[in-house]
Amino acid sequence: MILQRFFSTSLRSSFPRGVNSTTHLTTKNSKSFKLVSFPEPPELLPKDKSFGNRTFARPVQFIKSVSSLEQAPARDLPEVAFVGRSNVGKSTLINYLTNNHNLVKTSSKPGHTRLLNFFNVSDKCTLVDMPGYGFRSREEWGDLIIDYLTNRKQLKRLFILVDPTAGLKDTDKQLMEMLDKQAVSYQIILTKKDRLNKEAFETSKSTIERYLVDNAICCYPELLSAGKARRSKNNTDQTAEDITRVRWAVLSAAGVNA
């Protein structure tokens, strides 16, 4: 689904399932609407939560690492990929999603991930861990990332991880501009949510959402979030709910339904 800033009433059904309110839209003639904010995401149904958590409760299996697109697995299953600036918390998030804290190695060293890493999710879809960008990542990537994003027909959505404590950087915006030009669907996940208090997180989220509403074309209109559970913040339930929503978003993007 493509984020449309201007669209007719016939396209309103393209927003996330269950969204009926039009408070995120403005209109002068009731025929042409302008998007002014992302719609409030609907509550996940219990069966969707259960399906998402059950799917990722099964062992996620490593398939292979590749340094060129020609080496990518010859599988027809839909793929979803994760990317973000170096040290944005990508490896940590993938480990949380898959209930395996050893699946993807974490590192404080920028650019630790250099290859495309493919993982099998219950024979339903493939999760792709991509190298981080920023610093010298463009030089380190070569053509690998661009080739994958523009030529991999199995790719259904790219999840871009953004650190809300830092906000959108020029490298994030450059990547999104490239994706918009290539008509590649992407969605934003705000990581490290636990590092901000609620007010600061909502302020950062609103700023990022405003940029996306004004500039993005192929961004799915729902911001996801993730962070660590901390007793001091009493956020265990919310953290689990956030992870469940990301799991469902991954499966939904891949076209895998309960």
pLDDT (0 to 100) of residue 131: 85
The number of beta carbons lying within 10 Å of the beta carbon of residue 126 is 23
Task: Tell me whether residue 85 is in a domain.
Answer: yes
79 with 126, same domain: the answer is yes
Q: In this structure, is residue 58 part of a structural domain?
A: yes
Residues 118, 143 within the same domain: yes
Residues 205 and 121 both lie in one domain? yes
For residues 128 and 211, membership in a common domain is answered with yes
pTM of the model: 0.85
Say yes or no: 156 and 227 in one domain. yes
37, 55: one domain: no
The verdict on residue 119 lying in a domain is yes
Is there a single domain that holds both residue 57 and residue 114? yes
Q: Along the 258 residues of the chain, how does pLDDT read in single tens digits?
A: 455 544 434 334 444 555 444 555 455 555 555 566 788 888 999 999 999 999 999 999 999 999 889 999 999 999 999 999 888 999 899 999 999 988 887 654 544 457 899 999 999 999 999 988 865 555 555 678 888 999 999 999 999 999 999 999 998 998 999 999 999 999 999 999 999 999 999 999 999 999 999 999 999 999 999 998 887 778 899 999 999 999 999 999 999 987
Q: Is 15 found in the same domain as 135? A: no
Q: Are residues 128 and 170 in the same domain?
A: yes
3-state secondary structure of 36: coil
In a domain, 258, yes or no: no
At 63 the three-state DSSP class reads strand
Residue 183 lies in domain: 45-253
CATH number, domain at 218? 3.40.50.300
Same domain for 76 and 13:
no
H/E element, 201: helix 198-215
Q: Is residue 166 part of a domain?
A: yes
**Strand arrangement of the beta sheet that strand 186-190 belongs to:** 61-66, 116-121, 125-129, 79-84, 155-162, 186-190, 224-225
Residues 34 and 139 in one domain: no
Does any domain span residue 214? yes
Query: Residue 154: CA atoms inside 13 Å, Cβ hemisphere, count?
Result: 18
pLDDT at 9: 40
| Crossing angle (nearest 10°) for helices 170-182 and 198-215 | 40
Residues 235 and 173 in one domain: yes
Q: How far apart are CA 20 and CA 51, in angstroms?
A: 24
What six digits make up the tokens of 91? 């490896």
Supply the pLDDT for residue 14.
Answer: 46
In the chain, how many domains are there? 2
- CA–CA gap between residue 227 and residue 192 (Å, rounded): 5
